[in-house]
Chain A
Amino acid sequence: MFAYVVRRVLATIPVMAIVALFVFSLLYIAPGDPAAVIAGDQATPEDVERIRASLGLDRPYLVRFGAWVFDIARGDLGVSIFTNLPVSTMIRQRIEPTLSLMVVTLILAVSVAVPMGVVAAWKVGTWIDKFVMGFAVLGFSVPVFVVGYLLAYTFALELDWLPVQGYTAFSQGLWPWLENLILPAIALGTVYIALIARITRATMLEVLQQDYIRTARAKGAGQRSILFLHALKNAAVPIVTVIGIGIALLIGGAVVTESVFAIPGLGRLTVDAILRRDYPVIQGVVLLFSFVYVLVNLVIDLLYTLFDPRIRY
């Protein structure tokens, strides 16, 4: 097991290297000029050229790539072209809101979607099942920003229950932190709930047909015990897989959600950096996201052994 974990962690290195090469090359060939954006619309071509030279953007591809890789190897993600702040500092300053949003969304989604899927499978064919499936289709179909606007309009502007936008750090109190995250988490979590609920229902339906479930019923086990103890545990592997895959969905959705609710997280940092062509920031954030994704997949693989002892590494 330990050897497997070490192997998997080491395997992230070539993955990250490929991601780094891909991201750097893509940005190099992508149209755009941070020097022109910095200089502003009224700058003359000479001004733009001077700024480009001062940023080192006129250097050849290999020279720039070599310097970047050398810095990365030393743990230095570089400095933002626009703010002059180290990229690692910017990521550190922005990671809390994104992490908060993702954690709240994850808790909300799992705690709502899994029971929904279980109940839908138990009551298959009834109006409850149809309601859950209808919600799932709706959740998949409506874009996250539409859900966001509707929630903000209803619960912030009309009812005045929650703030329209913003983020308050956890250090300033649980409620101030949470009240800014409720609407974004619901908006972001809707599609996630739909996904998990559908998978849970499908897997549970399959498991509920198994012989050992019939045996459990024959032994007189209660419905709750059958559903949540016998069936759900055996259905857990695909559900956990989907939750893991959904992390990527959350990362993508966070970009939109953070923009709609003005949450100063990594998603907005990414969008701003892309719009300005702030290459070091884009590269740093994409590397971080890919690292997180690889790590989440590793954790999911390890969780399999908990739910299914037959799986060994």
Chain B
Amino acid sequence: MMQRRHLLAVAAAALPARAALGQGTSGAARVLRFVPQADLAGLDPLVTTATVTRHHGFAVWDTLYGLNQDYAAEPQMASGHAIDQDGRRITIRLRQGLRFHDGEPVRAEDCVASIRRWAARDPMGQVLMARTEEISAPDDRSIVFRLRRPFPRLFDALAKVTPPVCFIMPARLAATPPTEAVAEIVGSGPFRFLPAERQAGRPAVYERFARYSPREEGTPSWTAGPKRAHLDRVEWHVLPDVGTTADALLAGEVEWWENPSADRHAALRASRSLVLEVLDPTGYVGMARFNHLHPPFDRPAIRRALLGAVDQAEFMRAVVGADRSLLRDGVGVFAPGTPLANDEGVAALAGARDLDRVKREIAEAGYGGEKVVLLAATDFPTLAALAETGAGMLRRVGFEVEIVGDAWAAIVRRRASREPPAAGGWNMFFTIWSGLDLLNPGVHQALRGTGERAWFGWPTMPRMEDLRGEWFDAPDDAAQQRVARAIQAEALREAPFLPLGQHFQATAYRRGITGVLKGLPLFWNVQRA
């Protein structure tokens, strides 16, 4: 049926013909207009850990190994591997026919250079390199790791989807220092980024890379399996306003909105032309991070006592509303539903909250009435909601609380300060992690206990670091699970942070879109009717 707007255009036939609907050339059947969660400010996935740049990275670059829905690594650009010398020599073979977007073949030396650049930034990569005596490319299709001792997590590291991801780029670009953005975007994946169309404020555009060679076997699953691109063009439209984005999706001006806010779910669900579903089963996990350098949270007993005050359901309701299907409580330090999630010590976070007991424990631990400075990012509703709920919780158990509300860009500056709270520092801030960021001890930044080199909050937890090392050496799933339980017990004893529960983020797309994969917003396998 012709839209009334088109009739208007016909009525204006005396005027020059209008271009395709909406913005630019987006009307064709094999074009997908996607609204990402944020503007794609950085194009180099190693310079920034921004999630949106990771999504861009998966469209443009391929990885040696992919992660499937069981959180297991599968060969992706690799055809397979051989493990020799009791696990101290790993040889990865590349598939044939792989090409970069500049037409050059993908060679092993490109992979070696890419691994080196990635490892300089990535926590798991740093462990890998510390154990690697040499990494070499004896021929165009072989990558050889000579390890000082076996590293069972090598394939997990190469397949990880948490930023930074080990994307494969040409060696000439991988030679760029990891703190500097690469000069060109030359990918190895199923979609080619079009830099000529990159203009400030205009959509980021990707087109199908015709010479991409997908795996022939397997089933598409997360970032593993055949990556068959069915779309000719994918446009990322950044719409800054959620109301406008909802209207644009309902009106068919865009086809896929990555992160519709919870307050729009009802309106979107009511439309028969839209599908609303959760892609990432690991969801998002809220966290209250302590500053370990200053009173009162320099005392483990106070941090530990607060575990008894946390009502995870209350925190998550503040984020997503009353819809129980979108939240989960009783959450430990690993994302529920993932292989290392366990119930060790979780009882401390569940059940009825005894605030009088918490007050007593805090007093016994020596709380001296110091003011607690909470950082709240006011331009992120989710983080603001967590901070408000957290302030209420702290006040209920007797803390004197000051909320410092500011824009995210200012909060990240202040949270880097190690000064006392009264001199521009802080005591606690709130953040949300993707469940994938809490998949295992290798990627879990908030579990690091390396003091001044640790993530903001700077806990010193030598036992935790030892356990992390044990996890890297764990030979099988059972051993990993054992270590994960010990890590969770230690985390709840040291309490470097408070887990605040898990919530799930729905994505919304028009019914004509099929083949949307679970996990991340990925554009291969997706088709338009």
A and B pair up: yes
A contact patch SS: helix
How far does the alpha carbon of A176 sit from the alpha carbon of B25 in the complex, in Å? Answer: 12
- Residues in chain B near residue A160, CB distance under 8 A: 3-5, 251
Are B409 and A34 in contact, CB atoms less than 8 angstroms apart? yes
The distance from the CB of B337 to the nearest CB of chain A, in whole angstroms, is: 21
Which 7 A-B residue pairs are closest in the complex by CB-CB distance?
Answer: A264-B201, A40-B49, A33-B413, A31-B410, A36-B412, A176-B18, A173-B16
B contact patch SS: loop
| A31, A50, A157, A277: the one within 8 Å of B251 (CB) | A157
Q: Which of B40-48, B150-158, B460-468, B516-524 makes up part of the contact surface? A: B40-48
- Look across to chain B and name the residue whose beta carbon is closest to the beta carbon of A277: B409
Are B407 and A275 in contact, CB atoms less than 8 angstroms apart? yes
- Residues in chain A near residue B416, CB distance under 8 A: 33, 36, 45, 48
Q: Is the CB of B529 closer than 8 A to any CB of chain A?
A: no
| B39, B244, B431, B433: the one within 8 Å of A272 (CB) | B39
Known: A165-B247, A168-B18. 16 other contacts (CB 8 A): A31-B414, A36-B413, A36-B416, A40-B48, A40-B53, A42-B49, A42-B445, A163-B5, A163-B22, A165-B239, A165-B244, A166-B253, A173-B17, A175-B16, A260-B243, A272-B240
Are B244 and A54 in contact, CB atoms less than 8 angstroms apart? no
Q: Is the CB of A32 closer than 8 A to any CB of chain B?
A: yes
Are B16 and A174 in contact, CB atoms less than 8 angstroms apart? yes
The distance from the CB of A278 to the nearest CB of chain B, in whole angstroms, is: 8
> CB within 8 Å of B: which residues of A?
30-34, 36-48, 50-51, 54, 82-85, 89-90, 93-94, 97, 149, 152-153, 156-157, 159-168, 172-176, 179, 259-262, 264-265, 268-269, 271-272, 275-277
- Look across to chain A and name the residue whose beta carbon is closest to the beta carbon of B52: A40
Q: Which of B7-15, B110-118, B348-356 makes up part of the contact surface? A: B7-15
| B18, B163, B181, B406: the one within 8 Å of A173 (CB) | B18
The distance from the CB of B298 to the nearest CB of chain A, in whole angstroms, is: 18
How far does the alpha carbon of A212 sit from the alpha carbon of B49 in the complex, in Å? Answer: 73
Q: Could you tell me which residues of chain B, from 437 to 455, have a CB within 8 Å of some CB in chain A?
A: 437, 445, 452-455
Given contacts A264-B201, A275-B407, contact A38 B48 (CB under 8 A): yes
The distance from the CB of A31 to the nearest CB of chain B, in whole angstroms, is: 4
How far does the alpha carbon of A168 sit from the alpha carbon of B21 in the complex, in Å? Answer: 9
| B18, B22, B410: the one within 8 Å of A175 (CB) | B18
How far does the alpha carbon of A260 sit from the alpha carbon of B49 in the complex, in Å? Answer: 28
The distance from the CB of A274 to the nearest CB of chain B, in whole angstroms, is: 8
Are A50 and B179 in contact, CB atoms less than 8 angstroms apart? yes
Q: Is the CB of B408 closer than 8 A to any CB of chain A?
A: yes
Are A156 and B251 in contact, CB atoms less than 8 angstroms apart? yes
Given contacts A94-B200, A152-B244, contact A45 B456 (CB under 8 A): yes
- Residues in chain A near residue B456, CB distance under 8 A: 45
- Residues in chain A near residue B412, CB distance under 8 A: 33, 36-37, 41
Interface centre among B18, B237, B379, B412 (most CB of A within 10 A): B412
